[in-house]
Amino acid sequence: MRHLIQTTDLSTDEIDKILSQANTHLQANTHLEEEPHHTLKGKMAVTIFFENSTRTLSSFEIALKRLGATVVRLDVSKSSTAKGESISDTAANLNAMKPHAIIIRHKNAGAGEHLAKYVSCPIINGGDGAHAHPTQALLDLLTIKNHFKTSLVGKKIAIIGDIKNSRVANSNIELLGRYGMEIILVAPPHFLPSTHLQTTADLKSVLGEVDVLMSLRTQTERHDTQTYGSLKDYAHHFCITKDMIKDKNIIILHPGPVHRNVDIEDEVLKDPRCKVLEQVTNGVAVRMAVMEHFLL
């Protein structure tokens, strides 16, 4: 049984196929009820999100419904986990209802991999702690590829923000690196992981050489203690402003939720080079393709 826990679970060939299928879905540009190909009709998927989510949960559910699958959302606050049942027992019980896939988000790194031992259907990781968020990296890759329309080898991306605590950064470092992008990590020292990649705390110094800026939210929920002066101090150095990007030929990504005027300035969010909402649209298409890949 195959699972999608991290981006390395997929070969580059498989990813190319998933992205191409995602583009087919994007071109069809259909709404929920209009999708002509209900390829997942008769399939049932369970979503179980132990952490808050706006985009990822709805994106998976819309993707599945567009393909004709039935989606059952387990309301974690009302589930037996809240009554002390272990997550593996919850998984084994869900599995006994014979879903075709379980999509999980959890605050602990490794939660999806752990669950995979108790079920007989694919586990799709919707984000586990600071470890991995594979479908986010896939949708980011799609957004970058669709913009440049050429090979990404040698293109440069600056990933900016709380990289150490970010599953989005982790997954993107593997995936974008695999597609040949050069990655520069831009963060204050306390937000940097130990890494072989180029790092700097000076965002302005890399603006002249990069093609993509990927901003990340400060993951305050994962900090034991506050390790920075204030978000205002942080923003002073790391917020992407209009004044910084001027008329440079770059694109700006962010997985959301955006801390406005801390991660990205309001003006930049309105700029056509800012792809934040395109990422959300691409997310549904990528998740449709991912679910077809694992369920068909």
Determine, following the binding rule CB under 6 A, whether residue 3 of this chain makes contact with ligand NCD: no
Nearest distance, CB of residue 170 and ligand NCD, angstroms? 10
Integer CA distances (angstroms), 156 to 50, 115, 147, 232, 285, in order:
35, 36, 14, 28, 25
CA 22/CA 8 separation, integer angstroms: 19
**Per CB under 6 A, 217 contacts ligand NCD:** yes
Among residues 127, 184, 262, 282, which is the contact residue for ligand NCD, using CB under 6 A?
Answer: 127
- H/E segment holding residue 205: helix 203-206
SS (H, E, C) 4-59: ECCHHHCCHHHHHHHHHHHHHHHHHCCCHHHCCCCCCCCCEEEEEECCCCCHHHHH
Closest separation in Å from C-beta 125 to ligand NCD: 11
Structure-block tokens of residue 143: 């957004």
Tell me if 167 contacts ligand NCD by CB under 6 A: yes
Count of residues engaged in binding ligand NCD, rule: CB under 6 A: 10
Contact status: 262 vs ligand NCD (CB under 6 A): no
State yes or no: residue 39 binds ligand NCD (CB under 6 A): no
Taking a C-beta distance cutoff of 8 angstroms, is the pair 216, 160 a contact?
yes
Nearer to ligand NCD, 25 or 167 (CB): 167
E-only strand ranges, 69-174: 70-74, 101-106, 123-128, 156-160
Q: Site residues for ligand NCD, window 170-199 (CB under 6 A)? A: none
Q: Is 133 in the site for ligand NCD (CB under 6 A)?
A: yes
Residue placing its CB nearer to ligand NCD in the complex, 43 or 217: 217
Provide the mask over 55-84, with x wherever binding to ligand NCD is found by CB under 6 A and - wherever it is not.
xx----------------------------
